[in-house]
Amino acid sequence: MSTVFDEQPDLGDQDLPNMDLEDRHALRRVAGLSTELQDVSEVEYRALRLERVVLIGVWAEGGLASAENSLRELSRLAETAGSEVLDGLIQRRSRIDAATYVGSGKARELAGIVAAAGADTVICDGELTPSQLRNLEGVVRVKVIDRTALILDIFAQHARSREGKAQVELAQLQYMLPRLRGWGESLSRQAGGRVAGGGGIGTRGPGETKIETDRRRLRARISRLQKDIASMSTGRKVQRGQRRRRDVPSVVIAGYTNAGKSSLLNALTGAGVLVEDALFATLDPAVRRAETPSGRTFTLTDTVGFVRHLPHQLIDAFRSTLEETAEADLILHVVDGSDAEPEAQIAAVRAVLAEIGAGHVPELVVVNKIDSADPVVLQGLRAREPGSLSISAKTGAGLGALRDAIESALPRLDVQVKLTIPYSRGDLVARAHAEGEVLATEHSADGTLLEARVPPGLAAQLEAVLDDRVQVQA
């Protein structure tokens, strides 16, 4: 079912002092938050996990359109998590309220809206401090979560591999640790000395509270998960090292969530990885072999999507996975050309790339979904991102130009050889085709005359064969 909201006058990008007091303090409803159920499987899924939510955001900086787009993105995140969005509201403030996020008066007004809508959860478009979370829950009298907790919940639902599940659990525990709260008498449950065993006078002490016990257990679990993730990342490091020794270039597909990264991987390699019109459909990186138009081999890696205000806990937990991006030779930065704010997507992705140490890696901006994008928006993107390419992974438009651009952007092999390889070492000729760039071949009575650009290690082996042949003839 869809919710129809009251029409509100467009306030534009006016400064706070120029706004009427009523407009400045009002909770504005945001239109266009869809809650339609798409198919039977989704209906069954939500029947198992249905939450009725009200969204609340604070417009403290930027324009109104940006604030509303952020709340619409939060609505999509909530639906991805299996919730039904009942209402979405924005309050304009000069800054976030330190106590209740929206201010005490607005918190009481929000409580009335929540009660009238029959909601059981409030989702805030920002990260709440532990005190803000407690204070706001105390006023609205329903569960309150923030954007970070919502994203973590989606990751937990989509994690499939052992490493992915461990990374998500680590992020959740790191988020939960400072937010542990004691309820009822749990904070007063203490046991010191031999109290539990009836030690008597002189054996009782303050001991450890329930919440302290929980914190200690969480820290122990976090430490264990960090060790497990470190050990699981060893295999990936070994594979990267093997590719480096063979001088196989690495290309990583990065970008905003649901920008079409997996579709592009499938279009370039025929990988057949999951493609779904959903946020964070890909959590586990997929590495596939690909070739340039001239036949040069490289690896193409699909990575987890980024989002505005991506939780730092997730970046830390997925750092071992994101190392693939920081060590790449080229980043294909995929942008959703049909999005309302593609420039904001680009800024959010580049912020995360800089945080994981990938800001130095050469970047090729690839604007995807041109089949459904506004031509005016595409023209603006081309002007702001010179050198970018426009494609459609769905229809295949522009993929030929993208393959050529990848080949031009890959690091060149710096050793050029021209020598005759005996027919008995045809394996070396095959390796030159697989690992290098063969410029010309010619067959003679003595063997194959090979002219190619090859990795330094292979060049040394080719020259060693030539030296051995000269010594035998001498």
Q: 413: which residues sit within 8 A by CB, 6+ positions away?
A: 247, 436, 437, 453, 454, 455
- CA distances (Å), origin 333, targets 35, 97, 342: 30, 36, 12
Confidence class for position 474, pLDDT limits 50, 70, 90:
very low
Instruction: Please count the other Cβ atoms lying within 10 Å of the Cβ belonging to residue 20.
Output: 10
With tokens 């505005």, the residue in question is 308
Query: Higher pLDDT residue, 14 or 348?
Result: 348
The answer to whether 325 touches 254, Cβ cutoff 8 Å, is yes
Confidence class for position 10, pLDDT limits 50, 70, 90:
very low
Confidence class for position 80, pLDDT limits 50, 70, 90:
confident
pLDDT in tens, 323-378: 778 888 999 999 999 988 899 889 989 998 988 888 889 999 999 999 988 899 89
- Rounded Cα distance between 39 and 255, Å, is 28
Q: Residue 80 is inside which H or E element, if any? A: helix 64-80
The CA dihedral of 364, 152, 120, 75, to the nearest 10 degrees, is: 0
Q: Is the pLDDT of residue 385 over 90?
A: yes
Confidence class for position 194, pLDDT limits 50, 70, 90:
very low
What is the mean predicted confidence (pLDDT) over 162-178? 86
DSSP state of 306: B
402-406 own/partner pairs: CB under 8 Å, 24+ apart: 402/268, 402/366, 403/268, 403/292, 403/293, 404/293, 405/364, 406/251, 406/292, 406/298, 406/330, 406/332, 406/364
Tokens matching residue 254: 């990065």
What local confidence, expressed as pLDDT, does residue 40 receive?
A: 35
- Rounded Cα distance between 146 and 175, Å, is 11
Nearest one of 431, 456, 430, 452 to 441, comparing CA atoms: 452
Least confident of 148-157, 217-226, 327-336, 380-389: 148-157
Q: Is the pLDDT of residue 207 over 80?
A: no
Least confident of 24-28, 66-70, 354-358, 389-393: 24-28
Percent of the residues in the chain that have a pLDDT greater than 70, as a whole number: 76
- Rounded Cα distance between 97 and 170, Å, is 29
Q: What share of the chain is helix, strand, coil (3-state, %, to 5)?
A: 45, 20, 35
Single-letter residue type at 251: V
What local confidence, expressed as pLDDT, does residue 284 receive?
A: 64
Q: Is the pLDDT of residue 221 over 90?
A: yes
- Reduce the DSSP state of residue 320 to 3 states and report it: helix
Query: Higher pLDDT residue, 272 or 177?
Result: 177
What local confidence, expressed as pLDDT, does residue 397 receive?
A: 92
What local confidence, expressed as pLDDT, does residue 461 receive?
A: 84
Confidence class for position 252, pLDDT limits 50, 70, 90:
very high
Q: 175: which residues sit within 8 A by CB, 6+ positions away?
A: 148, 149, 152, 311, 313
Q: Is the pLDDT of residue 187 over 60?
A: no
Q: Is the pLDDT of residue 239 over 80?
A: no
What is the mean predicted confidence (pLDDT) over 422-447? 88
H-assigned helices in 141-194: 147-158, 162-176
The answer to whether 457 touches 245, Cβ cutoff 8 Å, is yes
Query: Higher pLDDT residue, 398 or 65?
Result: 398
What local confidence, expressed as pLDDT, does residue 15 receive?
A: 44
| Average pLDDT taken over every residue of the chain | 78
DSSP 394-453: TT-TTHHHHHHHHHHHSPPP-EEEEEEEPGGGHHHHHHHHHHSEEEEEEE-SS-EEEEEE
What is the mean predicted confidence (pLDDT) over 152-163? 81
- Rounded Cα distance between 410 and 34, Å, is 43
* pTM of the predicted model as reported, rounded to 2 decimal places: 0.69
Q: Is the pLDDT of residue 223 over 60?
A: yes
What local confidence, expressed as pLDDT, does residue 205 receive?
A: 52
Least confident of 2-6, 52-56, 286-290: 2-6
Nearest one of 430, 428, 436, 390 to 410, comparing CA atoms: 436
Strands 51-59 and 83-92: parallel
What local confidence, expressed as pLDDT, does residue 19 receive?
A: 47
